[in-house]
Amino acid sequence: MPANAAPLLRHVVLFSFKNDAPAEAVDAVVAGFAALPAAIPGILAYEAGTNVSPEGLNDGLTHCFTLTFAAAEDRDHYLNHPAHQRFVDTLGTCLERAVVVDYWAH
C-alpha cells in the first residue's frame, strides 16, 4: 500500500463445517457469501478460498473469506444489512465454528 494511501479495513471470516455437512450445503454457504458484495454497498473487495497451508495449524478451519472496507461505518452497515443477516441465518445447519478478525491494513 502506498505510504499516502488511507488504511483499509479487512474483515476476515474463517469457517469450519460439521463433519456430516453435505458438500451441497457447504457449496451453498460459499455461494451465499460470494453473493454479498453485489447485494451490500460499501464492500470494496471480496476474496475467498480454502486452506492449503502445509503447516497444519488451521485448527479445523477450512474456508477463508476476506472483505475490504474503506471505513468502519461501511463494515458496520454490512454487518447489519438484511442480506448479511439472511446469510448468517443459513449457517446453522452445517457450520461447526466461525472465527472473525477485523484489522486495519497498512
Structural domains in the chain, CATH included, are 14-52+60-105 (3.30.70.100)
Read off φ and ψ for residue 69, nearest 5 degrees.
-130, 150
Length of the chain, in residues = 106
Identify the pLDDT of residue 5.
81
User: pLDDT per residue over 7-36, tens digit each?
Assistant: 999 999 999 999 999 999 999 999 999 999
Q: CA 8 to CA 104: how far, in whole Å?
A: 6
User: pLDDT per residue over 60-105, tens digit each?
Assistant: 999 999 999 999 999 999 999 999 999 999 998 899 999 999 999 9
Of 8, 6, 10, 7, nearest to 65 by C-alpha is 10
Considering the entire predicted model, what is its pTM? Answer: 0.93
